[in-house]
Chains A and B, each alone.
Chain A
Amino acid sequence: MPAVELQSISKTYNNGELKAVNEVSFSVKKGELFGLIGPDGAGKTSIFRILTTLLLPEQGQASVVGYDVVKDYKEIRKKVGYMPGKFSLYQDLSVQENLEFFATVFGTTIEANYDLIRDIYIQIEPFRHRRAGKLSGGMKQKLALCCALIHRPEVLLLDEPTTGVDTVSRKEFWEMLKRLKQEGITILVSTPYMDEATLCERIALIETGNILSIDTPEGIIRQFPKLLYAIKAARMSQLLRDIRQYPEVDSCHAFGEFHHITFRQNEDALAKLLGHLQNLQHQGLEIKAITPTIEDCFINLLAKA
């Protein structure tokens, strides 16, 4: 039995005008760390709200640890821990009061499950008397995770836990998730940051309500259909324009220090392009074949969709 399963789930808003989730199907195995990767408006939050029984799907079926999201909503609420994208703890209760509150609501105590949250909680414990509303972003995130874990849920649903958080805190957060996975907790996590995809065991790439691909990060990268090259030169924005105008180039996107290029089906296109760019007086040209990133794959799938 999968820990989470969706079969052709759909949800619309504005009387059907906006298709937020469009026949989405995927399943998350027990103990798996599964990522839902996509930009704002992809439908990630609607999926989380359906799985947490806060929103009714219009079509399709979904279950969490075997319970149906419509019929068995009471059971599901006991089994899942949920961290919404928007900070939703009580701002005017202290750190400790929030944690006690959530423990009590779920009929347990902090002591009973302290081992599960200890590593995270000790980082905010010095501030346990501070009101939640007065915490920094990184500390709010840690408190929200503790509150979502305090009843030892079987499935943890995390909606964009790292949005707006800096690189250092993001790395720390993913380390925490790895440790929770070792405790046997199933984790479904969403993120708009493509570079976080490789930290998941399997991912679904999603955009405007549609799943583009589901696989392991390595599998998605293997499916990239073409050879990919990274190129740089002294004048990068001019280089981008010149490459895009070259007829044998299939795609060219800026990727930080380099631009990433794919070609149409021509064998010697690369050599010809380099000659062309040299004729255009580009200085400091450097090109290499590279392995695609998840973001390359996402762009490729998006362009095809």
Chain B
Amino acid sequence: MDLNEKVITTHKLTKRFGDFVATNEITFDVYKGEIFGFLGANGAGKTTAMRMLCGLSTPSSGEASIAGYDIYKETEKVKAHIGYMSQKFSLYEDLTVMENIRLFGGIYGMSNAYIKSKSEALIQQLGMEKEVKKLVGSLPLGWKQKLAFSVAVFHEPKIVFLDEPTGGVDPITRRQFWDLIYEAADRGITIFVTTHYMDEAEYCNRISMMVDGYIKALDSPTRLKQQYSAETMDEVFFELARGAQRKGD
């Protein structure tokens, strides 16, 4: 993690839907190569915040810059410099492994030569030589998720947004997935991740905790546990989220 370079900065970032304030004046910075856990109860406003940070939703007020680009005026540049992966939509199931890599590489403007050399290295790293020509839909979930992550960082983005990447994945694959996250962070890619697994919160450099649209706490897991006199991040989460008024999705 490089404390000299901020890749995400927000200042009083807000999104309103009519009278409803989904995300309420959130202010924080994320550093290069940091693993930043973005936690919160259902309905706290995480998805809305993430959509703004990815350049998919225009804020109502406040400021933010992603990889140095303004999220009002430079949304296309924001999109080109980030990667995104979620549990729900990851890859095209009816394309093969290699077709998916070529498709996403192409969308991010990579040259054919780059795609060819990098995809070979990637396939080897994942140990998927035999699966290259298989449809992604036929792969086990754990492999899909590892492939989806690798595709999300294929263009070496500054930041990768991971929305519950390990939901439902078996405990061993879940840990292999985190190995990939650590490697990417060591390469300088910033990881912005949401999860419902509190042990995974411990793997983050810092955690922000959203409740009812606000960031209620933001610190390292160790300091959060001290602050809330808690043994585990689960207790910290429970303490913070218990009083939540909103119980949305």
Contacts and interface: CB of A to CB of B under 8 A. Distances in A.
B74 interface: no
A302 B249 contact: no
Nearest to A297: B171
A281 interface: no
A153 interface: no
A256 B237 CA distance: 14
Contacts of A60: none
A219 to B, nearest CB: 19
Contacts of B241: 166-168
B18 interface: no
A185 B186 CA distance: 51
B172 A302 contact: yes
Contacts of B21: none
Interface string A40-59: 11100000000000000000
Nearest to A303: B172
A165 B41 CA distance: 8
B168 A166 contact: no
A189 B164 CA distance: 23
A295 B196 CA distance: 15
Contacts of A237: 182, 186
B248 A137 contact: yes
Interface in B38-66: 40-43
For chain B, which range describes its interface: under 10, 10 to 19, 20 to 34, or 35 or more residues?
35 or more
B170 A256 contact: no
A139 B170 CA distance: 27
B238 A136 contact: no
Nearest to A302: B172
Contacts of B200: 256
A39 B140 CA distance: 11
Contacts of A164: 42, 164, 167, 196
A295 B198 CA distance: 13
Interface residues of A, number: 35
A84 interface: no
Contact of B43 (A136, A192, A193): A136
B169 A39 contact: yes
Contacts of A257: 202, 221-222, 232
Contacts of A254: 175, 178, 199, 203
Interface in B128-151: 140-142
Contacts of B196: 164-167, 193
Contacts of A39: 141-142, 168-171, 173
Given A136-B249, A166-B42, A295 B171 contact: yes
A207 B142 CA distance: 12
A107 to B, nearest CB: 33
Nearest to A162: B196
B168 A136 contact: no
A136 B45 CA distance: 13
Contacts of A253: 171-172, 175
A167 B168 contact: no
Contacts of B173: 39
Interface string A243-268: 00000000001111100000000000
Interface in B172-202: 172-173, 175, 178, 182, 186, 196-202
B29 to A, nearest CB: 23
Interface of B: 40-43, 140-142, 164, 167-173, 175, 178, 182, 186, 196-203, 221-222, 232-234, 237-238, 241-242, 244, 247-249
Interface of A: 38-42, 136-139, 163-169, 171, 192-195, 207-208, 236-237, 253-257, 295, 298-299, 302-303
Smallest CB-CB A-B distances: 7 pairs: A256-B199, A39-B170, A256-B202, A40-B168, A136-B248, A166-B41, A137-B249
Given A136-B248, A167-B241, 11 more contacts: A38-B170, A39-B173, A41-B141, A136-B42, A138-B247, A167-B196, A168-B242, A169-B41, A253-B175, A256-B202, A299-B172
16 contacts: A39-B173, A136-B249, A137-B42, A163-B167, A164-B196, A167-B237, A168-B237, A192-B168, A193-B196, A195-B234, A253-B172, A256-B199, A256-B203, A257-B202, A302-B170, A302-B171
